[in-house]
A and B are shown apart, each in its own frame.
Chain A
Amino acid sequence: MRFLRVVAAAALLLSLACSKKESAEILIGHVASLTGSEATFGQSTDNGIKLAFEEINKAGGVKGKKLVLKTLDDQGKPEEAQVAATRLIVNDKVTALIGEVASSRSLAMGPVAEKNKVPMISTASTNPKVTLDQQGNTLKYVFRVCFIDPFQGTVMAKFARENMKISKVAVLRDVGNAYSVGLADFFEDTFKKMGGEIVTDQSFKAGDQDFKAQLTKIRETNPEAIYVPAYYTDVGLISRQVRELGMKVPLMGGDGWDSEELYKISQGALNGSFFSNHYTTESPDERVKSFIEKYKAAYGSVPDALAALGYDAALVAADAMNRAKDLSGPAIADALAATKDFKAVTGNITLNEQHNAVKSAVVIAIDNNAGKYAATVSP
């Protein structure tokens, strides 16, 4: 009993402490997977947001107030993401919420944000259901600054048919990952509609280390390319086993490939492959260049797409808060919904009716064990 009282007292004190700061600061919450197997996703995003906040605060903040970030780790689990979101909203009374990267976790956070009327911006969740409710109507308080999988799947399908000029593709998906399953389905739909043929559809589970069975099966079907819409840790390993089985065909994938680790793991096995992504570090755009400079100076490494998206989400949030008539949830949500042509690192962000960002995707080619810009595909 006493223990509970201590906890209650602590929570009360915490909330009191937070409310005192409200006058001079705006507290923004961030739910991320800082630990777990996709730890780099959460950490990159967090870095991007922090960088953006630093810049904004140096330039005077939002409506004269400084932005403060509070990040909670969800360990890569949807239930934890929900509790973390609730805690940030109810205990810490954040003005807005940023997160998450993985669609399955954003799906868990959405209802909490919606119920409590706190705007939530997902940085990189690409499954369309994140901003929709059961009936398919757009949730008022949930937004995202990235494109969605129906588009992303189309991007690679188009690229395969038009640029690579191939018609037979094998698909290898991560059956336990919402992102992978969704993206694979969308790719297959579009590819087939464009006259291509999916020669086989195989599955694996993230964390598997042996893919030879599935790859041997794929080898039998003689595809011209293999589409692997999964996260970089698995893709790297898969690519090596593809080469070990003597297959020389290129691989294709999505934004889950984006990480420096990909090249370290694959060690050249991915040369000649392509993947769709949110931005390219080679862009001549001034904004991209300066962002990369600043990020390198602050963190010592080249930012990946997740860091860029985190940065953009923070900027979009600040912009909306500046435009909003006050800092209440509904006002910020309205301002966010009206975001149009916002110049960000990952492109010009306009949020459409489903609160998704309409922007182009880039296709990155891998050559000499490094990524190189190949093409831009617009919606």
Chain B
Amino acid sequence: MAFARGVLRSVLPFLVGIPLLLALQTFLDSQGIDYWTIILISIGINVILAVSLNVVNGFTGQFSLGHAGFMAVGGYTTAKVALAFANGAHGLTQQAAFGGALLCGMAAAALAGLVVGLPSLRLRGDYLAIVTLGFGMIIVSIVENVDALGKAIGLSGLPGLTNVTWTGVGAIATVVMARRLAVSTQGRALFAIREDEVAAEAMGVDTTGYKVRAFVISAAFAGLAGGLIVHLLQLATPRSFNFIRSFEVVVMVVLGGLGSITGSVLAAIILTVALEALREFQQYRMVVYALLLIALMLTRPQGLFGTRELWDLPLVRRLPWMRNRAAAGPAGAPPTEVRGETDSGGET
């Protein structure tokens, strides 16, 4: 019974979402409102990025700064596979080819996540941050040197296959994945690692194993975002995937609240829209980001939502159909602080 309910909960969003997205897309296409289409797609991609990074940074409490590297791996793989099957080669329609290519991109990124995660996840917070940053840079360096990937010129002239439907499906998939993970046994293990890694290990949780798993999943979805990005831009260049990209995703996750899916989604939406609205002040964008981050850490480090979700808000809890949920409590640990390594400092 629980299994069936779980499957239903996973599939239902797609059953509802896909028709809605198709309808939305047909509407937008007919109006020819290209600008809003791009905004919506950007929002969708940022949601994928923020939620996937949240799995590692938020759920597991590990600080990764190399998200852009996995985006690059996913993006380039998707591009190459899509090119190979372009124009109906091997009997695949373009949409099917794109879907398959995206999955390939996710797989490649997941593999990269494994390669990066295994040696790094033994390290503590600060070191992990630098190492993931380093891996991100190494991946970009490699891409710049490989002829088949177009080196610095990149792969240009890619078909513009990304549309609202694909992005929406990707976003739904990411959110469903994160939610299913959060309420599962594996998710509990991740939260335990976040709260107190040593205690978790003592309780028999395979910390390294779970950390690697979280990393791989997060990387896979970053790869999905990468694949969508290169087919939006119709260009895959190493410069699109630098450290600053990783940092922008980190800001989204921190703003939303490390550990909150709702927070990540909301922060992604807010920041994407704000960016567009403030295009005139482009110059100040990064400075504002930085100040925002500092102010946030000093005043409200848990971000907008902390570790809570939308349905944990007091207002929402009072809604009639949510009443019986109130007893269960929020998924994830009660404290709303940003959790990482606390300095025990050799207390006696």
A-to-B contact residues, CB < 8 Å: 3-4, 7, 10-11, 35, 72-73, 75, 77-80, 82-84, 86-87, 89-91, 103-104, 107-108, 111, 115-116, 127, 129, 132-134, 174-178, 180-182
Instruction: Indicate if B152 sits at the interface (CB-CB under 8 A).
Output: yes
Instruction: Indicate if B165 sits at the interface (CB-CB under 8 A).
Output: no
Instruction: Indicate if B17 sits at the interface (CB-CB under 8 A).
Output: no
Number of A-B contacts (CB under 8 A): 92
Q: Which of B18-26, B235-243, B297-305 contacts A (4 or more CB under 8 A)?
A: B235-243
Point out the residues of chain B lying under 8 angstroms from A77, CB to CB.
239-240
In Å, the complex CA distance between A157 and B171 comes to 51
Point out the residues of chain B lying under 8 angstroms from A7, CB to CB.
273, 276-277
| Docked-complex contact A176 and B234, CB < 8 angstroms | no
Q: Which of B30-38, B114-122, B220-228 contacts A (4 or more CB under 8 A)?
A: B30-38
A interface, over-half SS: helix
Point out the residues of chain A lying under 8 angstroms from B151, CB to CB.
175, 181
Q: Which of B155-163, B183-191, B198-206 contacts A (4 or more CB under 8 A)?
A: B155-163
Instruction: Indicate if B282 sits at the interface (CB-CB under 8 A).
Output: yes
| Docked-complex contact A78 and B235, CB < 8 angstroms | yes
| Docked-complex contact B279 and A72, CB < 8 angstroms | yes
| Docked-complex contact A103 and B283, CB < 8 angstroms | no
Q: Give which listed residue, B34, B83, B237, contacts A178 with CB less than 8 A.
A: B237
Instruction: Give the residues from 144 to 191 in chain B that come closer than 8 angstroms, CB to CB, to chain A.
Output: 144-145, 151-154, 156-160
| Docked-complex contact A111 and B240, CB < 8 angstroms | no
| Docked-complex contact A129 and B239, CB < 8 angstroms | no
Min distance, Cβ B171 to any Cβ of chain A, angstroms:
17
Point out the residues of chain B lying under 8 angstroms from A132, CB to CB.
157
| Docked-complex contact A78 and B239, CB < 8 angstroms | yes
In the A-B complex, the 8 residue pairs with the closest CB atoms: A134-B157, A178-B153, A90-B35, A111-B234, A107-B156, A181-B152, A178-B152, A90-B34
Interface centre among A80, A82, A111, A132 (most CB of B within 10 A): A111
Point out the residues of chain A lying under 8 angstroms from B234, CB to CB.
108, 111
Point out the residues of chain A lying under 8 angstroms from B238, CB to CB.
176
| Docked-complex contact B283 and A35, CB < 8 angstroms | yes
CB 8 Å contact bits of B236-270 with A (1 = contact, 0 = none): 01111000000000000000000000000000000
B interface, over-half SS: helix
| Docked-complex contact A129 and B273, CB < 8 angstroms | no
| Docked-complex contact B233 and A79, CB < 8 angstroms | yes
28 contacts between A and B (CB under 8 A): A4-B273, A10-B277, A35-B282, A75-B282, A77-B239, A77-B240, A78-B237, A83-B276, A84-B279, A87-B279, A90-B33, A90-B34, A104-B237, A104-B239, A107-B156, A107-B235, A111-B157, A115-B160, A116-B34, A129-B157, A134-B83, A134-B86, A134-B156, A175-B144, A175-B145, A176-B238, A178-B153, A180-B152
* Known pairs A3-B273, A83-B38, A86-B35; A129 contacts B153 (CB<8 A): yes
In Å, the complex CA distance between A115 and B161 comes to 13
Min distance, Cβ A43 to any Cβ of chain B, angstroms:
13
Tally B residues with Cβ within 8 Å of A.
31
Interface centre among B33, B144, B156, B158 (most CB of A within 10 A): B156
Q: Find the A residue at minimum CB distance from B150.
A: A178
B-to-A contact residues, CB < 8 Å: 33-35, 38, 83, 86, 144-145, 151-154, 156-160, 229, 233-235, 237-240, 273, 276-277, 279, 282-283
Min distance, Cβ A305 to any Cβ of chain B, angstroms:
22
* Known pairs A3-B273, A104-B239; A111 contacts B160 (CB<8 A): yes
| Docked-complex contact B152 and A177, CB < 8 angstroms | yes
Given contacts A79-B240, A108-B233, 11 further A-B contacts (CB under 8 A): A3-B273, A4-B273, A75-B283, A78-B239, A78-B240, A104-B153, A107-B156, A108-B235, A111-B157, A111-B160, A175-B151
Point out the residues of chain A lying under 8 angstroms from B33, CB to CB.
90
Point out the residues of chain A lying under 8 angstroms from B235, CB to CB.
78, 104, 107-108, 111
Point out the residues of chain B lying under 8 angstroms from A127, CB to CB.
153
Q: Find the B residue at minimum CB distance from A35.
A: B283
Min distance, Cβ B51 to any Cβ of chain A, angstroms:
20
Point out the residues of chain A lying under 8 angstroms from B83, CB to CB.
134
Point out the residues of chain B lying under 8 angstroms from A80, CB to CB.
282
In Å, the complex CA distance between A35 and B83 comes to 34
Min distance, Cβ A136 to any Cβ of chain B, angstroms:
9
| Docked-complex contact B35 and A87, CB < 8 angstroms | yes
Point out the residues of chain B lying under 8 angstroms from A10, CB to CB.
277
Q: Find the A residue at minimum CB distance from B282.
A: A73
Point out the residues of chain B lying under 8 angstroms from A176, CB to CB.
144, 152, 238-239
In Å, the complex CA distance between A79 and B239 comes to 10
Interface centre among A3, A72, A103, A134 (most CB of B within 10 A): A134
In Å, the complex CA distance between A127 and B239 comes to 17
Min distance, Cβ A15 to any Cβ of chain B, angstroms:
9
Point out the residues of chain B lying under 8 angstroms from A133, CB to CB.
157
Min distance, Cβ A34 to any Cβ of chain B, angstroms:
9
| Docked-complex contact A175 and B160, CB < 8 angstroms | no
| Docked-complex contact A181 and B233, CB < 8 angstroms | no
In Å, the complex CA distance between A82 and B239 comes to 14
Min distance, Cβ A118 to any Cβ of chain B, angstroms:
11
Min distance, Cβ B243 to any Cβ of chain A, angstroms:
13
In Å, the complex CA distance between A176 and B140 comes to 9
Point out the residues of chain A lying under 8 angstroms from B154, CB to CB.
104, 107, 178
Min distance, Cβ A35 to any Cβ of chain B, angstroms:
6
In Å, the complex CA distance between A10 and B234 comes to 29
Point out the residues of chain A lying under 8 angstroms from B38, CB to CB.
83, 86
In Å, the complex CA distance between A104 and B229 comes to 16
Interface centre among B145, B153, B239, B276 (most CB of A within 10 A): B153
Point out the residues of chain A lying under 8 angstroms from B276, CB to CB.
7, 83
Point out the residues of chain B lying under 8 angstroms from A91, CB to CB.
35
In Å, the complex CA distance between A91 and B35 comes to 7
Q: Find the B residue at minimum CB distance from A6.
A: B277
Min distance, Cβ A256 to any Cβ of chain B, angstroms:
13
Point out the residues of chain B lying under 8 angstroms from A82, CB to CB.
233
| Docked-complex contact A129 and B144, CB < 8 angstroms | no
Min distance, Cβ B278 to any Cβ of chain A, angstroms:
10
In Å, the complex CA distance between A91 and B238 comes to 29
